[in-house]
Amino acid sequence: MIYKPSHPPQWQKYQASLQKAARRKHFFKNIPAILSIAALTCAAVVIVIFLGIWLWGHLSQPAPDAAPTNQKGNLRAAPSAGHDLKSAIQTLARNSAKLAEPNVMDVDGRRYFIHTAIYPKLQKYILRTLKRSRTLQSAVVVMDPRDGRLLSMVNHDANGQSANLCLQADFPAASLFKIVTAAAALESAGLSLDERLYYRGSKHTLYKSQLKTKKDRWTTQTKFRKAFALSNNAVFGKIGIYNLGQGRLMRYSDKFFFNRPIASDLPLAVSRVQVPADDFGLAEIASGFNKDTLISPLHAALLAAIAVNQGYMPRPTLVESIRDESNKVIYQAPRPLKSAAVSPETARDLKVLMQDAVRYGTSRSAFRKLRRKKRFKDFDLGAKTGTINDRRDRFKYDWVTAFALAPDGAGSICVSVLAVHGKILGTRSTEMTRAIVDYYFSTVGTKKHKTPF
């Protein structure tokens, strides 16, 4: 049996009391240091709070000599006035007929002056051209591809509708979509400009029998660049099936801003494309031989801008600045913004393909008149055309997206033209494009260009 005492020995009690006394003595000895640290901590917290309040109040005040805008170019007027001015800009963009006039807005009893990138003389000339075109509807966008400034944006409706067709994505893109397919084939499928390709039947039809890979005496050989220049549906349909597939076509549609909004100060509708998985559906989308791929005239101009802007798509801009009655800037457009679509090498090849279309392709006859003029001898001219009927064959949609680059770098423009024809075939889009380019560089383009914002 083990004996356990009921009380601890006296020496253990004594040692415990000594340790307790030592801890008490140490605590009271450190009280001044603890209080000092606590006081310093409280003082630091108070200083940080007051400094933050001061900085917030100071930075929220606009600089006295700076334009009252932020990096994104947002309006810095009173909240209600800012909202109304944004609405006014949207309203202004929807009515292209007013863009050639001085733009003055009255908001909350104050007057604001809106300065746009539009050239009034060019705007009026294009409007006269469209009215004489005998088209049911037509729309034109002229853009500086370097910074996205809209130099002209005009539309005409024979029925007198005032909605701006340039901003509506209700029109079949037709063969303009071959630009997207070509970029995908060059950049992701490894095709070269002189790649040898084969097709059967006509260049401008698309049947299942034309999409076979079999080569026989009815098979024709061509080059990739020639297929683009002549807008060969059979070749581009086969590229969609055998070289790209659904995944790549969807990815490059996204790169060219289909199915997603384009950043802008305009109420621009989203262009749409649906890429199916079946072979014939892929062929239709890749060649543009379908009526489901929809695009706006403004977006069409951006396709050409990518080709001449090293693969970058500029942010389209209409309003450059807004001033109040005291001439104080309350809005300044942001610095030119660009979104990478394809590599510079791919853009260079796209530019060559569009130049081929002007030299010997679908745009040859219209642009021949420009190329013969001394003024345009050293210009870089390129274009892509597209033509397709509506679902019930009532209307013909006639497209061009083009570029004209001056040799000295003094001026460059991208132009998109949409013409909708009824029973009477009006002026073709290629003819209107040629006339607009000629007029621009013979009048507006000869003057000193505006300095980009």
Instruction: Give me the domains of the chain, ranges plus CATH numbers.
Output: 120-446 (3.40.710.10)
Compute CA 318 distance to the chain's CA centroid, rounded to the nearest angstrom.
Answer: 13
CA atoms within 13 A on the CB side of 129: 28
How many Å apart are CA 256 and CA 116, to the nearest integer?
A: 26
Per-residue pLDDT of the chain (453 residues; tens, 9 = 90+): 443 444 444 545 555 565 666 666 665 666 666 666 766 666 666 565 655 554 444 444 433 333 333 334 555 444 444 556 677 777 777 777 778 777 787 777 888 888 899 999 999 999 999 999 999 999 999 999 999 999 999 999 998 887 899 999 999 999 999 999 999 999 999 999 999 999 999 999 999 999 999 888 889 999 999 999 999 999 999 999 999 999 999 999 999 999 999 988 889 999 999 999 999 999 999 999 999 999 999 999 999 999 999 999 999 999 888 888 888 988 888 777 788 999 999 999 999 999 999 999 999 999 998 988 988 989 999 999 999 999 889 999 999 999 999 987 668 999 999 999 999 999 999 999 999 999 999 987 655 444 343
Decide: 100 and 122 in contact? Cβ < 8 Å: no
pLDDT at 31: 66
**pTM of the predicted model as reported, rounded to 2 decimal places:** 0.80
Q: Which long-range contacts (CB under 8 A, 24 or more apart) does 74-81 make?
A: 74/331, 75/322, 75/330, 75/331, 76/330, 76/331, 77/324, 77/330, 78/108, 80/108, 81/107, 81/108, 81/110
Rounded Cα gap, residues 307 and 371, in angstroms: 20
Q: What is the largest CA-CA distance in the chain?
A: 126
- Kindly report, residue by residue over 98-148, the tens digit of the pLDDT: 787 777 877 778 888 888 999 999 999 999 999 999 999 999 999 999 999
